[in-house]
Structure 1
Amino acid sequence: MFSVCFPPPPPPPPLPYTKPPKAGDPVPQGRKRRYRPGTLALKEIRRYQSNTDLLLLKLPFARLVREIAITCRPMNDELRWQSQAIQALQEASEAFLVHLFEDTNLLAIHAKRVTIMQKDLQLARRIRGVWGGAGWV
């Protein structure tokens, strides 16, 4: 029996040069954390329930208010709006929408569903009546 001598394997290629991290550089993270389905949704719900900030953007809402006011006004005079008036309209609009979606969610739960549908929204508006109800009365 004889033995075969193989030549030694070649050395590994040198690693590319990277600069050492500076003191202010962020620490590189590993993989992005994956949450279980629904966890981030619950976290988002808690975040929105804990604060009272307005969710609609101010400038698009102000443009919408001005556009509606122009279409409802019989004359072509430009109306001037105080910022507090637009803010009051935005507060009332968001309160109305939040209450409408609360009712819509209750109707979906009553139908043994988790997802709200257009028919829930339509039924909530029909039950509330023409003006939508105050909601907090």
Structure 2
Amino acid sequence: MDHVVYVDAKSKELEKILDGSKTMIIRGAAGRKLPHGRVSAGDVLYFIQNNGEGQVRARAVVAAALHSEKLSPAEAEQLVRENQDKLQLSPALAARWASKRYLVLVEIHPAEALQPFAIDRSAYGNMDDWLPVGDIAAVRLP
């Protein structure tokens, strides 16, 4: 399964992914929303920065994924803190994710830069930051 993942441009997440200092992606919510239960080892993540440019710039293969059960605030904070060396989150992003009840931690193999390309988001009405696209070729624009 292929996924399009938006990463934070302000905190230079894509640069950290490409230089190998960031080896884990985190997502979370008050409930079980994407990608909870939908990403697993062997899946491929395609990265786009959340700065409005809309270009896929890199990809990485998922090494492992942890889908948490409901967490207390202390448990969520501990999980973020324990994985901070892989997550490389700014203090603001660490606090944001540590406040969620459900977390998904996705460890990735080393990423590779790609020749940038756009995707067709028309089938994805919601402005989510994680899109399970199935096959990237189906949404890749020429």
Question: TM-score w.r.t. structure 1 length?
Answer: 0.18
Which is bigger in relative contact order (C-alpha 8 A, separation at least 6)?
2
Higher relative helix content: 1
Q: TM-score, normalised by structure 2?
A: 0.18
Judging by fraction of residues, say which structure has more strand.
2
Bigger Rg, which one: 1
